[in-house]
Structure 1
Amino acid sequence: MITLILIAAVLIIVLVETLRRHRRGRWRGTRRFGGRFAPSSRAGSSKPPVERPTVETPPVAKPSMAEPENQVAAIAKVRFEKTRLLNRTEYRVLLLLERIVDGANSGHRVMAQTNMGELIRPVSSSGTARDRQDAFASINSKRLDFAIVDTFGMLAVAVEVQGSGHYHHKTFMRDAVKREALRRAGVELLEIQPSWTDEEIEARVSTLLGLPVQDSGRRRAGMR
C-alpha cells in the first residue's frame, strides 16, 4: 500500500514538473508587443515576424484646367506670340471669296477658320440627349477654312481648301466628319482643289450662292 502511494506521488511530481517546463518554453518563445503577446522575431522562432502595414502617400491631384483660376495660372507661366491664321494659298482664296461676295452685293460675308459648333448644331428633336451631346462634341472642335454666311448670319456655303495634307488618313477622316455633318445640316460644301483657277472657283461659289456668274471678259473689265 505504501509502495503504491509513493509511486503515485512520484508520478504527480513528474507531471507537475513537465507542465512547468512546458509553460516556461512557451514564455521564452513569445515577446510582448503593443500590449499583446506576439511571436518572437528572434532566431529560432517558428513563426514569422509581424510586419507593419505600409502607409502609401496619396498622389497630388492635378489642378482642373476647367477652372478659370487654373487657366490664368497656367497662362501666367509662359509667353505668347502671334501666329499666322491662314497660309498663303488660303489667304489668296480669302481675297477671292471676298471679291466674289462684294461684287455680287448680296449681303453675304466671308468668315475664316470658323468653329463648326458656332455654325451648326443637332436638331433638338433628333436622337437622345446623349446622341446630341456626342454628335455636337464630334464637330465642336473642328473648323472650316471659310464660312460664307447670309444676311441673317446663317451658314450658306462651307469652303475647304484642299492641299497635300488633306490626304493623310487622320485628316481624311476629319474631313469626312465635316462632310457628313454639313450634309445632314443641308449645307453645301465646296472643296477647292489646288488645280482650280480663280475663274473656276468664282463660278462654283456663285452657283452655290445662287448668284449670277459673270464671264471672264466682263469680270476683267470690271476690275480695271
Structure 2
Amino acid sequence: MRKLIMGIVEFREKMLPQYAKQFSKLALAQTPDALFITCSDSRVVPDLLASTHPGDLFTMRNVGNLIPPATAEGASTGDLSEASAIEYAVLVLKVANIVVCGHSECGAMKAVHTRNAKLKAPNLDRWLYHANNAAFRLEHEGPLDDRLKPHDQLSQLNVLVQLEHLMTYPIVHQQVTAGALVLSGWWFDIATGDMYAYERTSRSFEVIDRAMAERMIARLASRAR
C-alpha cells in the first residue's frame, strides 16, 4: 500500500504537469477508440502494453476476462456490470473496436482447468462457469497451440469463446454486421512481454510485431472505407 500511495505523490509531482492540459480536455468528454476487455490480473497493464494515454481506452477488467452471454432480448445472463460497460461503450461512446485480451498463467484458467473444488469460493465458482465452453472445446477439439501449457491453451480458446459471447448482445451484433464495430482477440504472454492477435486464416494467435501491426491496420482501414 505504501508503494501505491507514494506512486500517487510521484505522479502528482512529476507526471501531472505533462498531462494537465489533456486532463482539462478529458474532463469535458471522452472519445476512446476501443473497449478493452481483459483480466484483473495485476501483471496485465493495458496502458503500459499498448503505450496508450488517458482517454484512449475504455477498459473493463474482471477475473478471467469473461463476458456472460446475453439473451435474445439483450439481457445479461450474468453480472450486469459487464453488460452495462458493453452498452455504454457501444451506444454512448460509440467505440469502433472491442478487444478481448487473455493472458498466460491466468489463475482463473488454472481454476477452470483443474476444477479445484477445495477452494471455498462459491461466487468465483459461479463466475468461472462462463469459461466452461472454452474448457469443453479444449477437451473435445484440442488446443490452438499444443506447445503451450494446458491452462494457457485454455486461455487462448477462452478469448474466442468470449468474443462469441459478445456477439450474443444485439447491439454488438448489429454494429458488427453494419461494419461499424470490429471485434478482436488478443493474448498476452507474461514471460516474454509479447502480445498476440488471433488470425482467422491461420486459426492461431500471431505475435503483434511491426509487420503484423501494419497488416492489422490495413485491414481496419479497408473496412472503414
TM-score by length of 1: 0.30
Higher RCO (CA-CA < 8 Å; seq separation 6+) = 2
TM-score (norm 2): 0.30
